[in-house]
């Protein structure tokens, strides 16, 4: 592929910083838009992008995506595509502040779609989430499922962004790939997510909260596999004809909460102290990705088994000194 200029929102975050590294490594020019908010320690986000300091082909525009002033500050030059990963990303905090999630995730995405339209940027890859499937009893989740019964404001906001993107595709021919990520883990994982938080707590001998009986299950995706899917989706949007698609990017294997904890115990060589608590409102009992569509359209093919991914995240945690 020729060298591209990509607007990467949320580029200082967990997934976004890996995407930015990969784009630069293959020679693309990157403009990161990120507000470095304090949902978790902004110093972590600054560390995620520190390696690019002084690189003229990796620029950072700092600001809130949902503030029109921020979008007006983006460089006035041609962009080939947008990779939109910025969002308020926690499920449980969205229950406490649904309006914030609607403003940043929904209004912010619509503003970015509109910015892309007016700037003639026709390719738009955006982060959605497995949470759009809600409490669906039918597994594995297929993109053809209805996805109209979200059980958290976060999930509702993600589904709403997909629908707005579909409208832009219909009206203006925007090429859109909505990527439904399934619990992504690996180095730099958000510290609020269970795996990172459990690694940290078990290592320090602190108790870990276990919500429910340990039987809830997740389809965990190692971040390198997610990256492969993001880059394939970017290419998918380069087709000459308008196209719109939602794609599951998971691993197609479920791991129970109990098994997840055991795997971390094995990797750390330490036993967890479990504090059993009631299940949380907004949490879904299971996620499980049907990958048929992503494999066929994107050539997506996850490679890293859960146990291997945990071993790599623990090794990184020891090396970096933070989860």
Ligand X SMILES: NC(=O)c1ccc[n+]([C@@H]2O[C@H](COP(=O)([O-])OP(=O)(O)OC[C@H]3O[C@@H](n4cnc5c(N)ncnc54)[C@H](O)[C@@H]3O)[C@@H](O)[C@H]2O)c1
Nearer to ligand X, 3 or 308 (CB): 308
Say which of 154, 220, 300, 317 is annotated catalytic.
Answer: 154
Q: Is 176 in the site for ligand X (CB under 6 A)?
A: no
* Other CB atoms within 10 Å distance of the CB of residue 6: 23
From candidates 190, 201, 218, 312, binder to ligand X by CB under 6 A: 190
Determine if 106 is a binding residue for ligand X (CB under 6 A).
no
Nearer to ligand X, 142 or 242 (CB): 142
Nearer to ligand X, 175 or 188 (CB): 188
* Binding positions for ligand X, 66-95, rule CB under 6 A: 66, 85-89
The only residue of 12, 160, 234, 255 in contact with ligand X, by rule CB under 6 A:
12
Closest by Cα among 107, 101, 121 to 176: 121
Binding mask 199-238 for ligand X (x = CB under 6 A): ----------------------------------------
Shortest reach from residue 73's CB to ligand X, in Å: 12
Give 89 or 246: the residue with its C-beta nearer to ligand X. 89
Name which position in 184, 195, 196, 264 contacts ligand X (CB under 6 A). Answer: 184
Comparing CA positions, the residue from 301, 202, 308 lying closest to residue 261 is 202
Compute the least distance from the CB of residue 62 to ligand X, in Å.
8
State yes or no: residue 249 binds ligand X (CB under 6 A). Answer: no
Q: Which of residues 122-141 bind ligand X (CB under 6 A)?
A: 127, 129
Based on the residue annotation, tell me whether 211 is a catalytic residue of this protein.
no
Contact between 64 and ligand X per CB under 6 A:
yes
Choices 27-35, 91-99, 230-238, 291-299 (CB under 6 A): range interacting with ligand X: 27-35
104 is a contact residue toward ligand X (CB under 6 A): yes
Report the phi/psi class of residue 125: left, alpha or beta, with left for phi > 0 and alpha for psi in -120 to 50: beta
CB 240, min distance to ligand X, A: 28
Residue nearest to ligand X (CB): 13
Task: List active site positions.
Answer: 154
Binding interface with ligand X (CB under 6 A): 10, 12-16, 33-37, 39, 45, 64-66, 85-89, 104, 108, 127, 129, 181, 183-184, 190
């Amino acid at each position: 592929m020729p060298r591209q200029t990509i607007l990467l929102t949320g580029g200082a975050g967990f997934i976004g910083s890996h995407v930015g590294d990969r784009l630069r490594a293959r020679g693309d020019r990157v403009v990161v838009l990120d507000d470095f908010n304090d949902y978790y320690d902004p110093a972590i986000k600054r560390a995620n992008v520190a390696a690019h300091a002084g690189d003229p082909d990796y620029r950072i525009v700092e600001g809130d995506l949902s503030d029109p002033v921020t979008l007006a500050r983006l460089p006035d030059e041609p962009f080939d595509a947008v990779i939109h990963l910025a969002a308020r990303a926690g499920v449980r905090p969205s229950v406490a502040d649904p309006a914030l999630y609607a403003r940043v995730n929904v209004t912010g995405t619509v503003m970015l779609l509109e910015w892309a339209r007016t700037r003639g940027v026709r390719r738009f890859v955006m982060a959605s989430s497995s949470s759009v499937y809600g409490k669906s009893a039918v597994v594995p989740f297929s993109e053809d499922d209805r996805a109209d019964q979200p059980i958290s404001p976060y999930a509702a906001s993600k589904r709403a962004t997909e629908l707005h993107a579909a409208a832009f595709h219909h009206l203006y021919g925007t090429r859109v790939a909505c990527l439904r990520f399934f619990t992504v883990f690996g180095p730099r994982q958000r510290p609020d997510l269970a795996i990172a938080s459990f690694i940290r707590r078990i290592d320090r001998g602190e108790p870990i909260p276990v919500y429910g009986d340990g039987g809830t299950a997740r389809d965990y995706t190692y971040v390198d596999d997610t990256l492969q899917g993001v880059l394939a989706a970017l290419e998918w949007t380069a087709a000459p004809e308008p196209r719109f698609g939602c794609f599951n990017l998971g691993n197609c294997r479920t791991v129970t909460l109990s098994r997840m904890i055991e795997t971390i115990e094995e990797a750390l060589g330490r036993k967890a102290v479990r504090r059993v608590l009631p299940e949380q409102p907004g949490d879904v009992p299971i996620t499980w990705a049907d990958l048929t569509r992503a494999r066929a359209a994107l050539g997506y093919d996850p490679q890293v088994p859960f146990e291997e991914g945990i071993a790599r995240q623990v090794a990184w945690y020891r090396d970096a000194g933070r989860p």
